[in-house]
């Protein structure tokens, strides 16, 4: 299965303690590179989250962000007045009033700003932390599905260009007999213009040497072989991006050799067309896991 490295997914859930949400963005990269942002209460789980990501994704740059929005009711339920401190302040207030011989009522709202007056009890987040792992799995399933859909589209684009390469190779094969005949006639015409007497067998030797220099059968065979290998690779269940990237280098090498050996405008143009198709292939392969 061909998978794209580019995708986006998100998942969220509501709990009595608050809302959890994951966002995952995936882009191209030669290796697996994970960047993660977590709330402070979930940082201890970073390694386990990374392991979950690595089980689903083999290659690409991932940005995974977990957000936690505590519920208002949960926050209010965990706010308590420091009664010991409040009693001390009341006693100090009464003592001060006695010293000044005045009567004054305490100001509770002002006292709330006193450092340590409001105590915040952290709720038990372990159940929510476990749900964060399950939610990450859900987001990754969405991400994998999107990567597969995009990968299928990429595979279809690659197949179109592989078919175009195969047709160009077939076309060049059909031209070769005519090109060889033209080479022979060109050499005969040149000798006739020079009015030179050639030794017996010398003409055949020269024709054989010229034919060897422009022989591209091996390059065409290799191009056909690379097309077949690329098609087989696309059917693999393992990540194929690196293998395809290597094949693009081999495709390009054969196209360059075909162009350098060309003695016919048609094969020269075909070499250029091949390089254009190979570059289009290479650009698409960069997106494949």
Q: Where are the domains of the chain?
A: 79-120, 150-285
List helix spans (H) across the chain.
46-56, 72-77, 83-100, 108-111, 126-194, 202-213, 217-234, 241-261, 265-285
CB neighbour class for 109 (10 Å; exposed up to 12, middle 13-18, buried from 19): exposed
Position 114 scores a pLDDT of 76
Name the phi and psi angles at 120, rounded to 5.
-110, 115
The pTM for the full model equals 0.71
Q: Who contacts 99 (Cβ-Cβ below 8 Å, separation ≥6)?
A: none
Q: How far apart are CA 186 and CA 189, in angstroms?
A: 5
Position 73 scores a pLDDT of 60
Q: How far apart are CA 2 and CA 287, in angstroms?
A: 10
Position 185 scores a pLDDT of 66
CA dihedral 139, 141, 147, 150 (to 10 degrees): -100
pLDDT tens digits for the chain (289 residues)?
A: 689 999 999 999 988 778 899 999 999 988 899 999 999 889 989 999 999 999 989 899 999 999 988 876 654 556 677 778 888 888 888 887 888 788 888 877 787 777 877 766 666 668 788 899 999 999 999 999 999 999 999 999 999 999 999 999 999 999 888 887 776 666 666 655 655 555 556 555 655 555 555 678 888 999 999 999 999 999 988 889 999 999 999 999 999 998 888 878 888 999 999 999 999 999 999 999 9
């Amino acid at each position: 299965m061909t998978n794209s490295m580019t995708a986006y997914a998100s998942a969220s859930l509501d709990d009595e303690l608050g809302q959890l949400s994951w966002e995952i963005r995936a882009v191209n990269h030669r290796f697996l590179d994970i960047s993660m942002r977590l709330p402070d209460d979930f940082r201890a789980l970073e390694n386990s989250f990374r392991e979950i990501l690595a089980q689903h994704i083999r290659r690409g740059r991932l940005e995974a962000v977990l957000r936690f929005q505590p519920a208002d009711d949960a926050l209010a339920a965990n706010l308590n007045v420091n009664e010991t401190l409040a009693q001390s302040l009341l006693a100090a207030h009464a003592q001060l009033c006695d010293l000044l011989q005045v009567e004054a009522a305490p100001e509770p709202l002002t006292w709330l700003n006193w450092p340590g007056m409001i105590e915040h009890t952290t709720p038990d987040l372990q159940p929510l932390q476990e749900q964060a792992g399950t939610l990450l799995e859900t987001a990754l399933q969405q991400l994998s599905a999107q990567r597969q859909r995009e990968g299928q589209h990429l595979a279809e684009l690659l197949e179109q260009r592989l078919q175009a390469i195969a047709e160009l190779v077939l076309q060049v094969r059909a031209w070769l007999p005519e090109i060889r005949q033209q080479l022979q006639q060109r050499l005969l015409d040149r000798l006739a213009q020079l009015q030179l007497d050639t030794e017996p067998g010398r003409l055949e030797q020269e024709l054989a040497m010229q034919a060897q220099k422009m022989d591209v059968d091996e390059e065409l065979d290799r191009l056909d072989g690379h097309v077949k290998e690329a098609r087989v690779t696309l059917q693999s269940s393992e990540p194929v991006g690196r293998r395809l990237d290597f094949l693009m280098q081999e495709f390009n090498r054969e196209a360059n050799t075909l162009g350098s050996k060309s003695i016919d405008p048609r094969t020269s143009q075909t070499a250029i067309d091949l390089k254009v198709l190979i570059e289009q292939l290479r650009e698409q392969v960069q997106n494949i896991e």
